[in-house]
Amino acid sequence: MIRTQWFLAAAAFALLAAPAAYGKEKKKKQHVHDHGRGALSVAAEDKTLAFDLDTPAESIFGFEHAARTEAEKKALAEGLATLRTKALELFQIPAELGCKVTEATVETALEKGGATGGHADVRGEWDFTCDKPVFGTSLKLGLLKAFPRLKKLDVQILSGAKQLKKEVKSADEALAL
Protein backbone atom coordinates (compact mmCIF):
# COMPACT_ATOMS: atom_id res chain seq x y z
CA MET A 1 0.00 0.00 0.00
CA ILE A 2 2.78 2.44 0.94
CA ARG A 3 4.70 1.53 -2.23
CA THR A 4 1.57 2.28 -4.31
CA GLN A 5 1.09 5.63 -2.57
CA TRP A 6 4.75 6.50 -3.10
CA PHE A 7 4.49 5.59 -6.79
CA LEU A 8 1.37 7.72 -7.23
CA ALA A 9 3.03 10.65 -5.46
CA ALA A 10 6.16 10.32 -7.61
CA ALA A 11 4.09 10.09 -10.79
CA ALA A 12 2.05 13.16 -9.82
CA PHE A 13 5.24 15.10 -9.05
CA ALA A 14 6.73 14.13 -12.41
CA LEU A 15 3.60 15.19 -14.25
CA LEU A 16 3.42 18.52 -12.40
CA ALA A 17 7.12 19.24 -12.81
CA ALA A 18 7.10 18.49 -16.54
CA PRO A 19 5.51 21.76 -17.72
CA ALA A 20 7.84 23.83 -15.53
CA ALA A 21 10.95 21.89 -16.59
CA TYR A 22 9.88 22.05 -20.23
CA GLY A 23 9.72 25.83 -20.09
CA LYS A 24 13.09 26.24 -18.36
CA GLU A 25 15.16 24.49 -20.99
CA LYS A 26 15.71 25.39 -24.63
CA LYS A 27 12.99 23.88 -26.72
CA LYS A 28 14.36 20.88 -28.58
CA LYS A 29 11.29 19.30 -30.08
CA GLN A 30 9.50 20.58 -33.13
CA HIS A 31 5.96 21.78 -32.72
CA VAL A 32 3.26 22.62 -35.17
CA HIS A 33 3.21 26.31 -36.02
CA ASP A 34 -0.49 26.81 -36.65
CA HIS A 35 -1.75 30.41 -36.70
CA GLY A 36 -4.79 30.91 -34.50
CA ARG A 37 -3.93 27.91 -32.35
CA GLY A 38 -1.93 27.62 -29.14
CA ALA A 39 -0.90 25.00 -26.63
CA LEU A 40 -1.57 25.59 -22.94
CA SER A 41 -0.47 23.34 -20.08
CA VAL A 42 -2.08 23.85 -16.68
CA ALA A 43 -0.65 22.23 -13.56
CA ALA A 44 -2.61 22.40 -10.28
CA GLU A 45 -1.25 21.26 -6.93
CA ASP A 46 -2.96 22.09 -3.63
CA LYS A 47 -2.68 25.91 -3.48
CA THR A 48 -0.57 26.48 -6.59
CA LEU A 49 -1.27 26.82 -10.29
CA ALA A 50 1.17 26.95 -13.19
CA PHE A 51 0.38 27.85 -16.80
CA ASP A 52 2.64 27.32 -19.81
CA LEU A 53 1.59 28.84 -23.17
CA ASP A 54 3.15 28.32 -26.59
CA THR A 55 1.56 29.99 -29.63
CA PRO A 56 2.60 31.63 -32.90
CA ALA A 57 3.29 35.35 -32.51
CA GLU A 58 0.78 36.04 -35.28
CA SER A 59 -1.98 34.75 -32.98
CA ILE A 60 -1.10 37.41 -30.40
CA PHE A 61 0.26 40.40 -32.35
CA GLY A 62 -1.02 39.85 -35.90
CA PHE A 63 2.47 39.48 -37.42
CA GLU A 64 5.68 37.45 -37.06
CA HIS A 65 8.37 39.81 -38.34
CA ALA A 66 10.21 42.66 -36.64
CA ALA A 67 7.70 45.41 -35.86
CA ARG A 68 8.10 47.99 -38.64
CA THR A 69 5.18 50.38 -38.46
CA GLU A 70 3.96 52.38 -35.50
CA ALA A 71 0.82 50.22 -35.44
CA GLU A 72 2.92 47.02 -35.25
CA LYS A 73 5.15 48.48 -32.53
CA LYS A 74 2.04 49.45 -30.57
CA ALA A 75 0.48 45.97 -31.05
CA LEU A 76 3.69 44.32 -29.86
CA ALA A 77 4.01 46.55 -26.78
CA GLU A 78 0.34 46.22 -25.83
CA GLY A 79 0.26 42.45 -26.37
CA LEU A 80 3.37 41.92 -24.24
CA ALA A 81 2.05 44.23 -21.52
CA THR A 82 -1.23 42.30 -21.42
CA LEU A 83 0.55 38.94 -21.18
CA ARG A 84 2.95 40.17 -18.49
CA THR A 85 0.60 42.15 -16.26
CA LYS A 86 -2.94 40.81 -16.68
CA ALA A 87 -2.56 37.14 -15.81
CA LEU A 88 -5.60 37.11 -13.53
CA GLU A 89 -7.75 38.33 -16.43
CA LEU A 90 -6.16 35.95 -18.93
CA PHE A 91 -6.76 32.85 -16.79
CA GLN A 92 -9.86 33.96 -14.82
CA ILE A 93 -9.15 32.01 -11.66
CA PRO A 94 -12.06 32.29 -9.19
CA ALA A 95 -11.47 35.31 -6.93
CA GLU A 96 -12.49 33.37 -3.80
CA LEU A 97 -9.29 31.29 -4.12
CA GLY A 98 -7.20 34.40 -3.40
CA CYS A 99 -4.59 33.62 -6.06
CA LYS A 100 -1.66 35.92 -6.72
CA VAL A 101 0.93 35.80 -9.48
CA THR A 102 4.30 34.76 -8.05
CA GLU A 103 6.16 34.67 -11.36
CA ALA A 104 5.39 35.63 -14.96
CA THR A 105 7.75 35.21 -17.89
CA VAL A 106 6.83 36.02 -21.50
CA GLU A 107 9.29 35.74 -24.38
CA THR A 108 9.20 36.24 -28.14
CA ALA A 109 11.89 36.72 -30.77
CA LEU A 110 9.99 39.80 -31.93
CA GLU A 111 11.34 41.74 -28.94
CA LYS A 112 14.84 41.13 -30.22
CA GLY A 113 14.05 42.24 -33.74
CA GLY A 114 12.55 39.33 -35.56
CA ALA A 115 12.03 35.69 -36.22
CA THR A 116 14.20 32.93 -37.59
CA GLY A 117 12.91 31.15 -40.66
CA GLY A 118 9.95 33.52 -40.96
CA HIS A 119 8.17 32.16 -37.89
CA ALA A 120 8.09 33.55 -34.36
CA ASP A 121 6.40 32.16 -31.29
CA VAL A 122 5.30 33.50 -27.94
CA ARG A 123 6.18 31.49 -24.84
CA GLY A 124 4.65 32.38 -21.52
CA GLU A 125 4.86 30.91 -18.04
CA TRP A 126 2.79 32.06 -15.07
CA ASP A 127 2.90 30.71 -11.53
CA PHE A 128 0.20 31.47 -8.94
CA THR A 129 -0.01 30.86 -5.22
CA CYS A 130 -3.50 30.76 -3.75
CA ASP A 131 -4.97 31.13 -0.27
CA LYS A 132 -7.25 28.11 -0.75
CA PRO A 133 -6.82 24.73 -2.50
CA VAL A 134 -7.61 24.88 -6.22
CA PHE A 135 -9.01 21.34 -6.62
CA GLY A 136 -12.70 21.14 -7.40
CA THR A 137 -12.83 24.63 -8.93
CA SER A 138 -12.85 25.74 -12.54
CA LEU A 139 -11.47 28.60 -14.57
CA LYS A 140 -12.09 30.23 -17.93
CA LEU A 141 -9.54 31.36 -20.48
CA GLY A 142 -9.69 35.10 -21.04
CA LEU A 143 -6.74 34.61 -23.43
CA LEU A 144 -9.24 33.93 -26.21
CA LYS A 145 -11.06 37.20 -25.52
CA ALA A 146 -7.91 39.29 -25.04
CA PHE A 147 -6.36 37.98 -28.28
CA PRO A 148 -9.13 37.44 -30.88
CA ARG A 149 -6.68 35.97 -33.44
CA LEU A 150 -6.18 33.09 -31.00
CA LYS A 151 -9.10 30.85 -31.99
CA LYS A 152 -8.24 27.51 -30.35
CA LEU A 153 -6.19 26.32 -27.42
CA ASP A 154 -5.06 22.73 -27.00
CA VAL A 155 -5.21 22.52 -23.22
CA GLN A 156 -3.61 19.86 -21.06
CA ILE A 157 -4.55 19.94 -17.37
CA LEU A 158 -2.62 18.06 -14.71
CA SER A 159 -4.49 18.32 -11.44
CA GLY A 160 -3.59 15.91 -8.65
CA ALA A 161 -4.04 12.43 -10.08
CA LYS A 162 -6.30 13.75 -12.87
CA GLN A 163 -5.05 14.43 -16.38
CA LEU A 164 -7.28 16.01 -19.03
CA LYS A 165 -6.73 17.08 -22.60
CA LYS A 166 -9.21 19.41 -24.25
CA GLU A 167 -9.55 21.76 -27.20
CA VAL A 168 -10.97 25.12 -26.10
CA LYS A 169 -12.58 27.42 -28.67
CA SER A 170 -14.51 29.83 -26.45
CA ALA A 171 -13.59 32.17 -23.60
CA ASP A 172 -16.84 31.09 -21.92
CA GLU A 173 -15.84 27.43 -21.70
CA ALA A 174 -15.01 26.36 -18.12
CA LEU A 175 -12.05 24.12 -17.33
CA ALA A 176 -12.41 21.95 -14.22
CA LEU A 177 -9.36 21.57 -11.99
pLDDT digits over 113-158, tens only? 766 667 899 999 999 999 999 998 999 999 999 999 999 999 999 9
Q: With contact defined as beta carbons under 8 Å apart, do 172 and 133 qualify?
A: no
Average pLDDT over residues 60-86: 95
Q: With contact defined as beta carbons under 8 Å apart, do 147 and 141 qualify?
A: no
Dump pLDDT digits (tens) for 52-71. 999 999 999 999 988 889 99
Residue 30 reports pLDDT greater than 60: no
pLDDT at 124: 97
Distance (Å, whole) CA 66 – CA 158: 35
Question: Which residues have a Cβ under 8 Å from the Cβ of 5 and sit 6 or more positions away?
Answer: none
Distance (Å, whole) CA 42 – CA 61: 23
Query: Nearest CA to 126 among 23, 50, 45, 36?
Result: 50
